[in-house]
Amino acid sequence: MMKAIDLNSDLGESYGAWRMGDDAAMLDIVSSANVACGFHAGDPSGILRTLRAAAQRGVTVGAHVSYPDLVGFGRRDMDIAPADLTADVIYQIGALQGLAAAAGTTVRYVKPHGALYNRIAVDAVQGAAVIAAIKTVDPALALIGLAGAQILDQARAAGLAVVGEAYADRAYTPKGHLVPRREPGAVLHDASLIAARMVRLATEGVVEASDGSAIRLEAQSICVHGDSPGAVAIAREVRRRLEEHGLGVASSLLPGLRHA
């Protein structure tokens, strides 16, 4: 059983008058914040506000990069030329690094969002484009990706530190993939059930799939979507139950903690 596990959330996603989630409340619970970079969500002032709040709480910050898809919230798959995708990711990391510096913190990792996250889990070409962008900006940045996906091996082979991630509020297929959002039951809402699933993940390394089977996941980080209904209550219950079972909640990128 691991002694500590990272708890992360997707934040900084409000855009103008459009408010997404409760960043301040989530930052009191999580150990890492995946902060939007403006391509799927987030405006500069809101992103800066989230980064300042993260810095005040000592929460580790990562760049939540995406396809250029504000209308679709980054959840529409896109066929983008590798060179263009690399440039897009470089642009987003750089923008967040500048805002992070202004907020008194630094970007420590990169976590792709939505459709890009799912695509690079199985698409080595787009995965290579994202890896190239990270290495161009700063090869010390880690990559967070879906636990068990080939992108983690691909990034590790390219010299990047990687962190395997499990989703607290998403259902899994028997093959370890996320159940597509368009399917019933893809998003979980019962905080108690979700917390129990994550305790089992952290203590046994397994999670129950949609068909009831147990699948093994090697994850060092757990994500709770910041835009999900009841997200704060879910994250709070997950953290409470983890700590109740003797597990600390800390960034997987802090010194002394193992990453994959």
Say yes or no to pLDDT of 217 above 60: yes
Does 120 map to a domain?
yes
Half-sphere exposure of 190 (CA within 13 A, CB side): 7
| Whether 35 contacts 12, CB under 8 Å | yes
Does 256 map to a domain?
no
pLDDT digits (tens, 9 = 90+) for 21-60: 899 999 999 999 999 999 999 999 999 999 999 999 999 9
pTM (whole model) above 0.85 = yes
Q: What percent of the chain has pLDDT over 90?
A: 87
| Distance from C-alpha of 127 to C-alpha of 154, rounded to nearest angstrom | 8
Q: Report residue 47 as tokens.
A: 């992103």
Q: What is the per-residue pLDDT for 1?
A: 54
Mean per-residue pLDDT, 178-185? 89
Q: What is the per-residue pLDDT for 225?
A: 85
How many domains does the chain fold into? Answer: 1
Does 131 map to a domain?
yes
- The DSSP output letter for 254 is S
Q: Compare 225 and 15 and report the one with higher pLDDT.
A: 15
Q: Minimal CA–CA distance to 88: which of 72, 107, 74, 68?
A: 68
Q: Which secondary-structure segment (H or E) carries 92?
A: helix 82-103
Q: What is the per-residue pLDDT for 39?
A: 98
- The DSSP output letter for 177 is P
Does 147 map to a domain?
yes
| Whether 219 contacts 147, CB under 8 Å | yes
The residue range of the domain holding 106 is 4-249
Mean per-residue pLDDT, 197-216? 93
Does 255 map to a domain?
no
How far does CA 28 lie from the centroid of its chain? 17
Q: What percent of the chain has pLDDT over 70?
A: 96
Q: What is the per-residue pLDDT for 2?
A: 62
| Whether 42 contacts 53, CB under 8 Å | no
Q: Which residue has the tokens 């929460």?
A: 59
Does 93 map to a domain?
yes
Q: Compare 53 and 259 and report the one with higher pLDDT.
A: 53
| Whether 112 contacts 78, CB under 8 Å | no
- Specify the CATH number for the domain of residue 99: 3.20.20.370
pLDDT digits (tens, 9 = 90+) for 120-130: 999 999 999 99
